[in-house]
Amino acid sequence: ETNPVSKEDSSLVTIARRFQDSMSLGKTHKFWESQPVGQFKDIGDSSLPEGPIESPTLLSEVKQEPYNLPSQYEWTTCDMESDVTCDEVYNLLKNNYVEDDENMFRFNYSQEFLSWALRPPGYYRSWHIGVRAKASKKLVAFITGVPARIRVRDEVVKMAEINFLCVHKKLRSKRLAPVMIKEVTRRVHLENIWQAAYTAGVVLPTPITTCQYWHRSLNPKKLIDVGFSRLGARMTMSRTIKLYKLPDSPATPGFRKMELRDVPAVTRLLRNYLSQFVVAPDFDENDVEHWLLPSENVIDSYLVESPETHEITDFCSFYTLPSSILGNQNHSALKAAYSYYNVSTKTPLLQLMNDALIVAKQKDFDVFNALDVMHNESFLKELKFGPGDGQLHYYLYNYRIKHTLRPSELGLVLL
C-alpha cells in the first residue's frame, strides 16, 4: 500500500511498490466489488459502454435514514463554519490522516485550508460527515464531499468530490470505512447527484489513471536532515545546496499576484486550457474566485500581465499543505507547496514554473510538489524535480471510462 504523502524515491521502494500494486489486482474487495465502479475483471473489455454504470433512481427511493453504525457511535454533521467543529476536525486529521509508508510524515491540513476546501460555491453542510463516540462525544471518523462539475470528454457531469476519509487509528480495520462511504453516497444521492471523483494512495477497483508525485527541493539541507531526501551519490551538502539555488525574484516581466479583478480573464484562460484534457473541472467565474483567488497560507496564484497590452497571458498556482514530521528532534513541520492549475500561452511553461518555484522559496516553503498531470512532465526534470515514492490513483464512482488514461490526459487536481 502506498500513500500520497510522498518523499523522494529510492529504487528499492519503487520495486516493492510495483510488486504490491501488481498483487493488489488479485485481492478481493468485498465492499468495492458491491459498488458501481469499474471492476478489475472488466479491465480491457471494450464492449462495456462509457458513462454511468447505474441509472439514477427516484429521490423518493433513496434511503431516508442514515446507515447503522456500531452501537457505541453516532453520526454528526460537522458545521465547518464553527471554529470549534473546525478545530475538532483539524485535530482528528492532524493525528490520524494520511502518512507515508515509513510513517515519517503525516499531512497536517490547517483549519483555514479545511474551511476553504469544504466550503466552495453551493456546498452542502450535510456532506461534511463525522462519527462521534456516544459516551464522550469525541470525533472519531470523518468523510466529506463537495459539489463540482467535472467534464468527461464532452459531457459535463455533476459530481461530488470525496475527500478527508479518516478513521481514528484505534478504530481501524473494523469495516467503518464502507459504512462512511455508503452514508456519504446516500447524502449525495439526496441532492440528486449520482457520480463522484476521488483520489487515494491505495489501489482500489479501478483507477482511471495513476499519477506520480515529483518533488523539487527548495530547502535541501532541512529535507535531508528530516529524512525526506538523501544526499545524492558523489554529492556533498554544499554542492546540493548550490544545485537547488534559485534567483531571489521572478524573471518574467509582468509576473504578479492574482487579484479579484483578474477573475474573468483567469476563468477564460483556464477554461480554454482545461478543454484539451479528457477529465477536467468545468470552472465558472464563481469557482475561480473561490478556488484560485489567493488566500494566505491556503492558495497562492500568480499571473503574467503583458506590460504592453495588459493582457493576462499566463497563470500558475499552488496550495499550502504542511506535513508533521514524526519523531525528529530538530524539526516538527515540513512546509510543502503543491502545484495546482498552471496555464501558459505566452511565457514558456518552464519559465513560468521556475518563477513559481522562486516565489515559493521566498515564502519559505521547503519543497514544491507536483503530479505528472496535464503538461507537468514538460518541466519536471529540467526544473530539478525528482520522482517521489508516492503514487496517486484517481477514481470515478458510477462512471465508466473505457481505457485507462495517461496522467497527461488528466486536467484535475484534488486537494
Residue 199, Cβ neighbours under 10 Å: how many? 19
Closest CA to 51 of 191, 181, 194: 194
* Residue 412 near residue 197 (C-beta atoms within 8 A): yes
* Distance, CA of 82 to CA of 76 (rounded, Å): 14
User: CB of 399: closest distance to ligand MYA in angstroms?
Assistant: 9
DSSP state of 409: G
Which run of H or of E encompasses 291? helix 285-292
Please indicate whether residue 415 is annotated as part of the active site. yes
Instruction: Tell which residue, 312, 358, 320, has the closest CA to residue 338.
Output: 320
Could you say which of 41, 134, 175, 403 contacts ligand MYA (CB under 6 A)? 175
Of residues 165, 97, 176, 59, the one with CA closest to residue 395: 165
Phi, psi of 220, deg, nearest 5: -60, -35
Q: Count H helices and E strands in the chain, helices first.
A: 10, 17
Handedness of CA 129, 131, 134, 139 (dihedral sign): negative
Pick the closer one to ligand MYA by CB: 190 or 293: 190
Per-residue binding string, ligand MYA, 177-216, x by CB under 6 A, is xx--x--xx--x-----xxx-x-x-x-x------------
Residues 210-249 that bind ligand MYA (CB under 6 A): none
Member of 166, 265, 278, 304 binding ligand MYA (CB under 6 A): 166
Nearest approach, Cβ of 214 to ligand MYA (angstroms)?
A: 20
In whole angstroms, give the CA distance from residue 344 to residue 226. Answer: 35
Comparison of 31 and 67: residue with beta carbon closer to ligand MYA: 31
Nearest approach, Cβ of residue 50 and ligand MYA (Å): 17
Nearest-angstrom CA–CA distance, 120 and 124 = 9
Range 69-98, binding ligand MYA (CB under 6 A): 96-98
Q: Interaction with ligand MYA in 391-410: which residues (CB under 6 A)?
A: 397-398
Taking residue 171's Cβ as centre, other Cβ atoms within 10 Å add up to 17
H or E segment to which residue 351 belongs: helix 349-362
Identify which range of 116-124, 172-180, 335-343, 372-380 contacts ligand MYA by CB under 6 A.
172-180
Taking CB under 6 A as the rule, which mask of x and - marks residues 40-69 in contact with ligand MYA?
Answer: ------------------------------
Residues 199/392, Cβ–Cβ less than 8 Å: yes
Question: In angstroms, what is the minimal distance from the CB of 325 to ligand MYA?
Answer: 17
Please state the closest distance from residue 72 (CB atom) to ligand MYA, in A: 15
Q: How many residues bind ligand MYA (CB under 6 A)?
A: 34
Out of 24, 31, 123, 191, name the contact with ligand MYA by CB under 6 A. 31
Q: Between 218 and 401, name the residue whose CB sits nearer to ligand MYA.
A: 401
Q: How far is the CB of 215 from ligand MYA (least distance, A)?
A: 20
The residue within the footprint of ligand MYA, chosen from 104, 152, 160, 415 (CB under 6 A), is 160
Contact between 150 and 278 under an 8 Å Cβ cutoff? The reply is no
Q: Footprint of ligand MYA on this chain (CB under 6 A)?
A: 29-32, 96-98, 160, 162-167, 172-178, 181, 184-185, 188, 194-196, 198, 200, 202, 204, 397-398
Residues annotated as catalytic are 415
